[in-house]
Amino acid sequence: MAPSAGGNRRFGSAREHLAEEPCVSGPGATAVFLDRDGTLNVKPPEGDYVRSAEAFKWLPGAAQGAAALSHAGFALFVVSNQRGVARGLVDEATLAAIEVSIQAGLDPLSARVEAFRYCRHDLGDGCDCRKPAPGMILNLAHEHRLNLKRSWMIGDARSDVAAGSAAGCRTALVGEPGQSFDDAIVPDVVTTSLLLASEQIVSRLGTDTVR
- Can you state the percent helix, strand and coil of the chain, rounding each to 5? 40, 15, 45
Pick the CATH number of 14-60+71-127+157-167+189-205 from 2.40.30, 1.10.3470, 3.40.50, 1.10.10: 3.40.50
- How far is 120 from 142, CA to CA, in rounded Å? 20
The domains of the chain are located at 14-60+71-127+157-167+189-205
Where b means 16+ CB within 10 Å and e means fewer, 81-103 reads bbbbbbeeebeeebbebbbebbe
The whole-model pTM stands at 0.85
As annotated, the active-site residues are 35, 37
- How far is 53 from 125, CA to CA, in rounded Å? 27
Contact between 148 and 22 (Cβ < 8 Å)? no
pLDDT in tens, the chain (211 residues): 333 334 443 323 333 333 334 444 345 799 999 999 999 999 999 889 999 999 999 999 999 999 999 999 999 999 999 999 999 999 999 999 999 999 999 999 999 999 999 999 998 899 999 999 999 999 999 999 999 999 999 999 999 999 999 999 999 999 876 666 666 678 999 999 999 999 999 999 976 655 5
**Residue 54, exposed/middle/buried by CB under 10 A (0-12, 13-18, 19+)?**
exposed
Q: What is the DSSP letter of 129?
A: -
